[in-house]
């Protein structure tokens, strides 16, 4: 698999779990600007991989610095994106652009790779624009993004990932390839309470140290900024949807993304007309077993700690 992410606390937790999951072969991790600007996203990704030192080192792709990100009304990730966890900064020598890394991996493993897209879809869109035929080489793509009932977290109508790059989101959604969407409504069904902190691995392991640091910050930020007594780790739920698809209910939909409009840019639009005019083009995850997903998260965190 390839993980494309904009770390981000929940991205970083998902990455930590994935790198030590024996069921997964993470051949590449690629950064994209989103929760933090592109340079910070690349720095965070490199620092996380270097600190965790997984048994199978993935290729690292650097985020393109030419994307214009919208201003966020708030952020629960802290100024560095990782909740203030201080990791050694390791310079990335000879790093390749994220879209180049994705392209080369797909070419090397045709129809074998699943892309887990946890940030804006900028990188995936650029790969498809570079060579439209590469869509046939993608085994599957699971996208954490969109909101089915226009209950957004970036605007009233859009989630943050689609809002960051609406044209990239539309491009990827419209591509004729197998894809699965995890919208906010479904990932939000998993609310992790403060008791989670007591169940996290201790800080003596590398994974335990960063998980406790990042999630401790996340709980405080959610309470102070959102008034929430728990956290929703959307990207971590997306990873569980990939590893444990039996825990999710899905339906096939015809979807598109609005690219313009002061109120609607980035809005996921599903054709619900009685006589549908659009062709079905995606699977939509509409519900999950929240307790079982939470158990998967705890076991994934424990496994990462045991391995580090």
Question: Could you report how far apart the first and last alpha carbons of the chain are, in Å?
Answer: 21
Question: What is the spatial distance between Cα 195 and Cα 229, in angstroms, rounded to a whole number?
Answer: 10
Q: Which residues contact 180 (CB under 8 A, 6 or more apart)?
A: 140, 141, 142, 143, 241, 250, 282, 283, 284, 285
Catalytic residue among 77, 171, 222, 234: 234
234 in active site? yes
Question: What is the spatial distance between Cα 32 and Cα 141, in angstroms, rounded to a whole number?
Answer: 16
Among 167, 84, 81, 88, smallest CA distance to 128 is for 167
CA 173, chain centre distance (Å):
16
Question: What is the spatial distance between Cα 17 and Cα 1, in angstroms, rounded to a whole number?
Answer: 13
Among 67, 80, 241, 90, smallest CA distance to 168 is for 67
Question: What is the spatial distance between Cα 294 and Cα 230, in angstroms, rounded to a whole number?
Answer: 13
Query: Strands (DSSP E) along 59-199, which ranges?
Result: 59-62, 96-97, 113-117, 138-144, 179-182, 192-193
Question: What is the spatial distance between Cα 91 and Cα 295, in angstroms, rounded to a whole number?
Answer: 36
Q: Which residues of 149-185 are buried (b: 16+ CB within 10 A; e: fewer)?
A: eeebbbbebbbbbbbbbbebbbbbbebebbbbbbbbb
CB 7 within 8 A of CB 49: no
Active site residues: 234
């Amino acid at each position: 698999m390839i993980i494309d992410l904009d770390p981000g606390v929940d991205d970083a937790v998902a990455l930590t779990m994935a790198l030590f999951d024996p069921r997964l072969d993470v051949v590449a991790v690629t950064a994209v600007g989103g929760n933090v600007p592109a340079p910070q996203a690349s720095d965070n990704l490199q620092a996380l991989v270097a600190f965790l030192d997984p048994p199978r080192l993935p290729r690292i792709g650097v985020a393109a610095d030419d994307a214009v990100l919208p201003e966020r009304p708030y952020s629960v990730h802290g100024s560095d994106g990782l909740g203030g966890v201080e990791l050694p900064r390791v310079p990335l020598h000879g790093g390749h652009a994220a879209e180049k890394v994705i392209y080369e991996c797909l070419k090397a493993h045709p129809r074998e790779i699943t892309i887990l897209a946890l940030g804006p879809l900028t990188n995936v869109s650029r790969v498809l624009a570079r060579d439209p035929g590469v869509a046939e080489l993608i085994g599957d793509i699971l996208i954490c993004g969109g909101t089915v009932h226009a209950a957004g977290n970036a605007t009233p109508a859009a989630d943050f990932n689609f809002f960051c790059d609406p044209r990239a989101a539309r491009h990827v959604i419209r591509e004729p390839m197998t894809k699965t969407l995890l919208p906010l409504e479904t990932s939000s069904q998993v609310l992790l309470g403060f008791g989670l902190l007591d169940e996290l691995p201790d800080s003596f392991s590398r994974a335990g140290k960063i998980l406790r640091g990042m999630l401790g910050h996340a709980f405080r930020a959610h309470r102070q900024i959102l008034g929430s007594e728990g956290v929703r780790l959307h990207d971590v739920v997306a990873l569980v949807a990939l590893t444990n698809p039996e825990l999710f209910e899905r339906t096939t939909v015809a979807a598109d993304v609005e690219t313009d409009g002061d109120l609607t840019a980035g809005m996921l639009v599903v054709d619900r007309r009685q006589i549908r005019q659009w062709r079905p083009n995606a699977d939509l995850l509409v519900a999950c077993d929240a307790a079982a997903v939470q158990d998967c998260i705890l076991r994934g965190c424990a496994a990462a700690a045991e391995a580090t």
